[in-house]
């Protein structure tokens, strides 16, 4: 561990990723997780910290600790990978955290997708705390496109309504780029992330317009009123329709909990949501016309048409942070690091 050599604030540490991984793994094992779970969890939170996604970085170790304290997570459950059926791979996480279940299902998903042209990885009954982009990147690394969906907890009202039905319901997509970072986006279908709503609530600052309604269904920028009322989807009725699609695809379609059912299971504990996940993968070599190089050229022409006019690709900020982390170590606020280490005490 070393201090920032240049002009960064003295309360930021710059740590080698390996050291962070070892620390995070030790902390998770200390919480009672099996070694395999702890390693998968550590890879996930360190990837978030490395890419400067603070809310999905080491900070998540603290919310995992709270969730474990709530007593519902199976700490050592081995994910149960069912035999592949057609293009469908199913992993029952057995009420454990999700990253290990994903890792255990990934090879079968890649195999099924290459064999059938497209494939689905269904993860059942997992506590899901991570961003979706680490999973998307794990699939694009195999030269496949990917689409991932999960519900969360019912906090978001449908367009035209005022009572929560949908979760923040993220949608993530990735396209593989040989020799470059993949094209990846990962966003909540809610107008604001739940974590950002919490930050506004704690800070007492108003929300941006259009993020929520109060208990009477009136538009509100008061984070407390919105927390008691409902958040809204991004993009009006279109975002609301997409949020419904996530409930249906990553809930009813796979026989896993919707955001309302997940919230009912939580029963006020305030833990990380437990539900299912649907991850689709697509093989450009099987879905295309047989000229993969031409297909890759098409994609690159699209990206060039975006960046040549000064617009950004979705994950550029993350990749820039990743490059900085590789150069100087992963930036971690000292207070956060101490809070994480304190979990060992």
156 in contact with its own copies (CB under 8 A): no
Beta strands in the chain (DSSP E): 2-3, 12-15, 80-81, 88-97, 118-127, 145-149, 156-157, 170-175, 183-188, 212-213, 230-232, 274-282, 330-333
Choosing from 45, 101, 132, 254, the residue that interacts with its own copies (CB under 8 A) is 254
Catalytic residue (choose from 37, 51, 56, 128):
56
CA distances from 344 to 61, 62, 75, 76, 335 (A): 12, 12, 17, 18, 15
Tokens 């879905």, residue? 287
Minimum CB separation of residue 234 from its own copies in Å reads: 5
279-318: contacts with its own copies (CB under 8 A):
280, 282, 284, 286-291, 294-296, 298-299, 301-302, 305-306, 309-312, 314
218 in contact with its own copies (CB under 8 A): no
Q: Is 130 a catalytic residue?
A: no
Choosing from 46, 53, 58, 165, the residue that interacts with its own copies (CB under 8 A) is 165
Our CB check for its own copies shows the closer of 25 and 132 to be: 132
16-75: contacts with its own copies (CB under 8 A):
none
Tokens 């409930």, residue? 247
Choosing from 163, 198, 206, 341, the residue that interacts with its own copies (CB under 8 A) is 163
What are the DSSP calls for 209-242, one per residue? TTSEE-TTS-B---HHHHHHSEEEBTTHHHHHHH
175 in contact with its own copies (CB under 8 A): yes
Catalytic residue (choose from 52, 196, 222, 266):
196
87-116: contacts with its own copies (CB under 8 A):
87-88, 115-116
Q: Are 180 and 307 in contact (CB under 8 A)?
A: no
Report the half-sphere exposure of 216 (CA within 13 A, side-chain side). 3
Catalytic residues: 55-56, 196
């Amino acid at each position: 561990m070393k201090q920032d050599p240049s002009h960064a604030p003295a309360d930021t540490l710059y740590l080698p990723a390996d050291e962070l991984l070892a620390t995070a793994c030790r902390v998770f094992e200390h919480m009672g997780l099996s070694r395999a779970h702890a390693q998968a969890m550590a890879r996930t939170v360190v990837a978030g910290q490395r890419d400067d996604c603070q809310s999905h970085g080491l900070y998540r170790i603290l919310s995992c600790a709270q969730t474990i304290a709530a007593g519902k997570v199976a700490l050592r459950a081995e994910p149960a990978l069912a035999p592949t059926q057609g293009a469908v791979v199913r992993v029952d996480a057995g009420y454990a955290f999700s990253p290990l279940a994903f890792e255990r299902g990934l090879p079968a998903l890649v195999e099924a997708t290459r064999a059938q042209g497209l494939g689905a990885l269904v993860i059942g009954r997992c506590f899901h705390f991570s961003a979706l982009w680490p999973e998307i990147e794990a699939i694009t690394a195999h030269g496949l496109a990917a689409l991932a969906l999960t519900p969360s907890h019912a906090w978001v009202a449908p367009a035209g309504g005022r009572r929560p039905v949908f979760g923040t319901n993220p949608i993530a997509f990735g396209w593989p780029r040989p020799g470059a970072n993949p094209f990846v986006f990962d966003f909540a279908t809610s107008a604001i992330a739940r974590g950002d709503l919490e930050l506004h609530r704690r800070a007492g600052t108003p929300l941006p317009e259009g993020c929520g309604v109060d208990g009477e269904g009136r538009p509100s920028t008061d984070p407390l009123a919105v927390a008691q009322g409902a958040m809204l989807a991004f993009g009006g009725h279109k975002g609301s329709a997409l949020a419904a699609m996530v409930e249906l695809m990553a809930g009813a379609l796979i026989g896993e909990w919707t955001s309302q059912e997940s919230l009912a299971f939580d029963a006020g504990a305030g833990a990380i949501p437990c539900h299912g996940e649907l991850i689709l993968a697509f093989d450009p070599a099987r879905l295309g016309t047989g000229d993969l190089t031409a297909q890759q050229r098409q994609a690159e022409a699209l990206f060039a048409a975006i960046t040549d006019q000064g617009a950004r690709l979705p994950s550029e900020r993350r990749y820039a942070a990743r490059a900085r982390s590789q150069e100087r170590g992963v930036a971690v606020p000292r207070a956060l690091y101490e809070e994480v280490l304190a979990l060992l005490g």
